[in-house]
Amino acid sequence: MSLANTFYNTLVKRNSVYVTSIFAGAFAFGVGFDVGITNIWDSWNKGKQWKDIRHKYVQE
């Protein structure tokens, strides 16, 4: 069975499964997007944020 048919038969065939997987996908996408953008932000601002320079000022 081809990839297209596998996709159709597992996810799309029943509307309940389709909608549920869309919402699950939206949740996963939201988390992944958040993590990805945060990583990009952190790497872009490397050395400028408090969590990067905290060890210079706080000795515990």
Candidate ranges 1-9, 38-46, 48-56; the one touching another protein (CB under 8 A): 1-9
Tell me if 23 contacts another protein by CB under 8 A. yes
Q: How far apart are CA 50 and CA 58, in angstroms?
A: 11
Looking up tokens 């320079």 gives: 53
Tell me if 2 contacts another protein by CB under 8 A. yes
Sequence letter at residue 3: L
In angstroms, give the least distance from the CB of 47 to another protein: 24
- Expressed in angstroms, the distance from the first to the final Cα of the chain is 60
Instruction: Name the site residues for another protein (rule: CB under 8 A).
Output: 2-5, 7-8, 11-12, 18-19, 21-23, 25-26, 29-30, 33
